[in-house]
Amino acid sequence: MDDKRNIIMAVLLTGIILFGWPLMMERFFPDMANKNEVVEQANVPATDQVPAGTGSSSGTPATGNADIATTAESGKIRPLATVLRENPRVLIETPRLNGSVNLKGGRIDDLTLTDHTVDMSKDSKPIRLFAPSGTENAYFSRFGWAGEGVAVPDDNSIWSTDGSKLTPETPVTLSWANETGQTYIIKLSIDPDYLITSEQTVINRGANPIAIRPYGLLNRKRDLDNIPPSEASTWTIHSGPVGVYEGAANYDVDYKNLAGEEPGFFASLFGTSAVAGTNAYDKEVSWLGFTDKYWLGALVPENISDVDGRFRSGGGDIFQAEIAKKNPQIVASGQQLKTTTRLFAGAKENALLEKYEAEFGIKNLDRAIDWGWFYWFEKPLFYLLNWLFKLVGNFGVAIILMTFVVRGVMFPIAQKQFASMAQMRAVQPKMKAIQEKHKDDKQVQQQEIMKLYKEEKVNPLAGCLPIFLQIPIFFALYKVLMLSIEMRHQPFALWIKDLSAPDPLTPVNLFGLLPFDPPTFLAVGVLPILMGITMHLQFKLNPAPMDPMQKQIFSIMPWILVFIMAPFAAGLQLYWTVSNILTIAQQKWLYSRHPQMKEMMAKEAEEKARKAAADKAEA
């Protein structure tokens, strides 16, 4: 009766996992559930469209009380090429960025990443990070001033320029003057990678002093109802507003918090205001901006001690990140005020982020990558994997080599686990005798078993240690493989063209011979199947658990994990499969060192078969 009940429970558990897993994947791992890379074409839309009447002639005081956006425009989406031809522009050309600066409003609103493409097709377009207002994927940055009683450049101001192209060798200076004697200058320089430096200068040639606040902003439009699954923020990978305040990274705020749809659960821990529409920071704002899985736009003030920062929602789908001087700066007649702000706009490459940290003193810029709880462990793992990749030139081979390293480090612990299993197996006849003797008194039974453990010097938990150690290793590897742009679009061999995407080859459609794409739940690739087979063989080598329920769960677990792991990155599946193979080889070797274990298992198997035959004959 107990066996039947256990079988029923195991079947129910299997059904819950198999049919409930797709729903959980969509809720907690949406970036895994969608295997299409097209959604990564820098869908970082933002337009500065706002309800009529919200424009501010005095600019956008970044942390003031003015409206979030800049100019009220028609809500109609227009072709990118059309918008780019409407106003005069200064070209941007670097080894890794192409684009332009819009002289109307002085916006940096046209940037593409030349060495990162949307997908792996030959005619794939480069990732577009910034796009002008009014286009489908609008997103821009602007630097300006806010002031009372003084005319400042706004979104409709046409800037003059001393050059036609911004390159690492040729900075460009924009200038605009009002009728009361103030001249505003923005000197833009750019490095060969992804860092733009803006030097804002206001010269007061007027008769009176002026009070003014320099600011920088990132403006973005996000349709919260249509965020692609691979760009959605989850509990494992943050996407949305991000920054470092008082030396600590903050991933608590997302678009839904700002829009008022969800409160920020950890906001109080970070001293932020979790009010819908605004999240303000006034202490040591090292940087802030918007992050996606692989891309980042971030504002970096030069002096963090006198800067306020804020994320705001302007209603609808408009979001803005802002930094500004804490207080208005007084510029006397004949004087000038200079402020420097940097803009990072590009791919979240770990080495580059760390380089900027060291070169410019930008605190924790590498935390734009949401490493998570195991940051201290994930970074060394990433360094090892990246070093191996540079050594062998193939990320799949690097993952295999890293698996050998991890299993090698874990080998002494595995030996202790095996010795513990042998001890447990040796005392099981005595445990059975105790269970039979005290079957009516569970408390005495447990006391006697604990006494037996002590006398025989057996630690029942020792065998669990490698499992617990594998959890942070596996989770860290998951984060490394999912977040590292270094692995994006990296091939392995044969049909594995992208290790950051799920295995595309599945027997469900006869490995692509049938012209249809199976749903995520059924799209089980070759690597997950190999992983399940190797795990089954690994469990077969382990001594069978004494508890029938545990035995049944272990027997079906490999096949459940096949479906669970199918939507994950092929790199992760490769690691697990190779790890299983190495574990099998390791167990074979340990059995050769402990022949008594193999003999005991053989005797138990023989005894079990004899009992089953007797039960069958009796039936």
Higher pLDDT, 457 or 568: 568
Please check the confidence at residue 110 and state whether its pLDDT lies above 90: yes
Please check the confidence at residue 591 and state whether its pLDDT lies above 80: no
Single-letter code of the amino acid located at 457: K
Please check the confidence at residue 132 and state whether its pLDDT lies above 70: yes
**Range in 105-114, 129-138, 423-432, 476-485 with the lowest mean pLDDT:** 423-432
Average pLDDT of the residues of the chain:
78
Mean pLDDT confidence for 91-113: 96
| pLDDT at res. 455 | 78
167: helix, coil or strand? coil
**Range in 291-295, 388-392, 442-446 with the lowest mean pLDDT:** 442-446
For 588, half-sphere exposure in the C-beta direction (CA atoms, 13 angstrom radius) is 8
| Cβ atoms of 49 and 221 closer than 8 Å | yes
143: helix, coil or strand? strand
**Range in 164-178, 401-415, 422-436 with the lowest mean pLDDT:** 422-436
Work out the pLDDT band at 178, boundaries 50, 70, 90: very high
| pLDDT at res. 464 | 62
CA distance linking residue 76 with residue 10, whole number of Å: 56
Work out the pLDDT band at 602, boundaries 50, 70, 90: low
Please check the confidence at residue 543 and state whether its pLDDT lies above 80: no
Residue 396's alpha-carbon distances to 21, 55, 222, 271, 366, in angstroms, are 27, 53, 35, 43, 25
Work out the pLDDT band at 336, boundaries 50, 70, 90: very high
Mean pLDDT confidence for 514-520: 70
**Using one digit for the tens of pLDDT, what is the confidence trace for 433-489?**
887 888 777 888 888 888 887 777 777 666 566 666 677 777 887 888 888 898 888
Please check the confidence at residue 182 and state whether its pLDDT lies above 90: yes
Please check the confidence at residue 194 and state whether its pLDDT lies above 90: yes
| pLDDT at res. 73 | 46
Q: Could you write out the DSSP letters of every residue in 497-521?
A: --TTS-----GGGTTTTSS----TT
Mean pLDDT confidence for 192-208: 95
Q: Which domains does the chain have, with CATH numbers?
A: 34-370 (2.70.98.90), 387-425+463-618 (no CATH)
Q: Give the residue ranges of DSSP H helices in 195-234.
A: none
Work out the pLDDT band at 562, boundaries 50, 70, 90: confident
Percent of the chain with pLDDT over 70: 75
Please check the confidence at residue 56 and state whether its pLDDT lies above 50: no
CA distance linking residue 480 with residue 415, whole number of Å: 28
Please check the confidence at residue 37 and state whether its pLDDT lies above 60: no
Percent of the chain with pLDDT over 90: 35
Question: Angle, nearest 10°, between helix axes 395-437 and 375-392?
Answer: 130
* Nearest by Cα to 127 from 294, 298, 290: 294
* Most confident by average pLDDT, 29-33, 263-267, 511-515, 579-583: 579-583
Q: Could you write out the DSSP letters of every residue in 167-193?
A: -SS--EEEEEE-TTSEEEEEEEEE-SS
Please check the confidence at residue 39 and state whether its pLDDT lies above 60: no
Compute how many other C-beta atoms are within 10 angstroms of the C-beta atom of residue 3: 10
CA distance linking residue 580 with residue 586, whole number of Å: 10
Mean pLDDT confidence for 142-165: 93
| pLDDT at res. 535 | 86
pTM: 0.78
| pLDDT at res. 538 | 81
CA distance linking residue 511 with residue 415, whole number of Å: 40
Looking up tokens 């949307």 gives: 118
| Cβ atoms of 280 and 319 closer than 8 Å | no
| pLDDT at res. 108 | 97
| pLDDT at res. 260 | 74
